[in-house]
Amino acid sequence: MPASMRRHLMLLVFASITLVWAITLLSSFRHATAEVEEWEDARLAQFAQTLTLLDQNDLTALSKAHVDAREEYGRGGSNGDDDKLPRNMLFQVRDGDGRVLAASPDLAPLGAWDPPSELAPQPRQGTRMITLGGAAGAGQAGGQPWHTYTLHDGPSGRTVRVLEPANTRSDLATGAARRISEPIAFALPILALLVWISIGHSFRPLRILSTVIDAREVSQLEPIDMGRSSSEVRPLIDAINHLLSRLRHSIVRERTFTADAAHELKTPLAAIKVQAQVALAAQDTLQQQLAMERVVQGVDRSARLVEQLLLLARLDEHDRMPMWAVALDGLARDVIVAKEDEALRKDIRVALVSDARFEIVAEPVLVNMLFDNLIDNALKYCDSGDRVEVAIRRDARAVLLTVRDDGPGVGIEELGRLTDRFFRGTGASSTGSGLGLSIVARIVEYFGARLSFGVGIDGRGLAVEIAFPCAASD
């Protein structure tokens, strides 16, 4: 069963309620017990007081009769004691010389009170003292706890002791505890139901949210609107909306890319078709030959375009390709050598400026593609007699690769659009697809490097600089 927040919350809430309830019950019970004891002590003192005033005859008569504490209370007020067991109050009255004037006959077998040791006031549990010259205490006699009260009466010189079995099972205390606990015990299931419903209600926005998301079509990427929602659900909706908007942009970008790619492929296809038809209709073989050569050129161009599109798609998939240490200068030299024929044909000098061996950790095929595109671009846009320079150097933090030329360059207003897919500058020759620099930008991004554009050689042309942020070894 998956973890349920509702169950978890219920458990927490109920554990808390039960704990607080138990503590309340315990403290109420103790409080009630203390109250009852205090009240019984007061009554005991009152009884002792009465005994000091009775004469010998009354005392003797009283000692013969049973005084049941339950009846005393019963007459006292509405809060009668409902104890099941009889609680006989025992007493002993001595005169000033210590002679026993009267005593309950049941007292003798208990063997309590051998004067004068018992005269000393005894501290009670709870350390409360009664200051009428007497002292109350819970004595242990006959194997059961007793409440005792001793009173020294000044005028008569009598010492009165009252003994009562301690009311250990007082219904007053337990009754109070029951009265407190009963409503709670009844309330608990109702409380549980209410809490369960409340929690369920609180989770309603989440349920609505999942229904809303469930009901969505794959293409439905507009933000979720649930009107006013709580501050707990809002961040979730915001996060989902943020994700949706990113997804939407990415899909729009993909669609634009696909549309642009299809559009770009149409142009070389149109060229191939036109040239093929020219070749078919050509009257002389020379013209036919020329047209067929152009058909081949067109096919080459389409193939290169498809290759570039595939590379971009692969880079977009974010697949990590294996990387290892590659020598930038070596790769640059390889590409320059490969482009030598083209450079010679256009009479462009390509120079490599690198005074050391610079290594970066990278994917060699991509680095090769990077150089290929940069140098290809430079050769494509430069005029006859221009220079192209590939420089590799290092500063404190990065290996810097610069490809610059003194060709026609790029207008400032176009610099920002150079890496846009399918963007071709106004001076662009017609063979470009407008993908070269966007591929460079993607590869640079892939390596976590930084791409910037500037002015080329002698304040003319274009400079493309790439900073690879990695430690290089000489």
Partner 1 sequence: MRILLVEDDDLIGLGVEAGLRQAGFAVDWARDGRAANLALTTTTYALVILDLGLPKMPGIEMLKWLRSCGKDVPVLVLSARGTVADRVVGLESGADDYLGKPFDLTELIARCRALLRRSQGRSVEVIRYRDLTVDPAARTALRSEVRVQLTAREWAVLVQLLTHQGVPQSRSRLEESLYGWQEEIESNVVEVHVSNLRKKLGTDLIRTVRGIGYVVEKA
Binding site for partner 1 (CB under 8 A): 263-264, 266-275, 277-278, 281-283, 287, 291, 294, 297-298, 301, 424-431
Which is nearer to partner 1, 122 or 267 (by Cβ)? 267
Least Å from the CB of residue 298 to partner 1: 5
Which is nearer to partner 1, 284 or 474 (by Cβ)? 284
Least Å from the CB of residue 293 to partner 1: 10
Least Å from the CB of residue 263 to partner 1: 5
Which is nearer to partner 1, 92 or 275 (by Cβ)? 275
Which is nearer to partner 1, 274 or 391 (by Cβ)? 274
Least Å from the CB of residue 269 to partner 1: 4
Q: Is 162 exposed, middle or buried (0-12, 13-18, 19+ CB in 10 A)?
A: buried
Least Å from the CB of residue 342 to partner 1: 16
Least Å from the CB of residue 356 to partner 1: 41
Which is nearer to partner 1, 28 or 288 (by Cβ)? 288
Which is nearer to partner 1, 131 or 429 (by Cβ)? 429
Least Å from the CB of residue 452 to partner 1: 25
Which is nearer to partner 1, 26 or 281 (by Cβ)? 281
Least Å from the CB of residue 287 to partner 1: 7
Which is nearer to partner 1, 267 or 368 (by Cβ)? 267
The two beta strands, 144-152 and 159-165, are antiparallel
Least Å from the CB of residue 427 to partner 1: 8
Least Å from the CB of residue 462 to partner 1: 17
Which is nearer to partner 1, 253 or 273 (by Cβ)? 273
Secondary structure of the chain in HEC code, one letter for each residue = CCCCHHHHHHHHHHHHHHHHHHHHHHHHHHHHHHHHHHHHHHHHHHHHHHHHHCCHHHHHHHHHCCCEHHHHHHHHCCCCCCCCCCCECEEEEECCCCCEEEECCCHHHHCCCCCCHHHCCCCCCCCCCCCCCCEEEEEEECCEEEEEEEEECCCCCCEEEEEEECCCCCHHHHHHHHHHHHHHHHHHHHHHHHHHHHHHHHCHHHHHHHHHHHCCCCCCCCCCCCCCCCCCHHHHHHHHHHHHHHHHHHHHHHHHHHHHHHHHHHHHHHHHHHHHHHHHHCCCHHHHHHHHHHHHHHHHHHHHHHHHHHHHHHHHCCCCCCCEEEEHHHHHHHHHHHCHHHHHHHCCEEEEEECCCCEEEECHHHHHHHHHHHHHHHHHHCCCCCEEEEEEEECCCCEEEEEEECCCCCCHHHHCCCCCCCCCCCCCCCCCCCCHHHHHHHHHHHCCCEEEEEECHHHCCEEEEEEECCCCCC
Which is nearer to partner 1, 416 or 454 (by Cβ)? 416
- Name the packing angle between helices 5-53 and 69-76 (round to 10°): 100
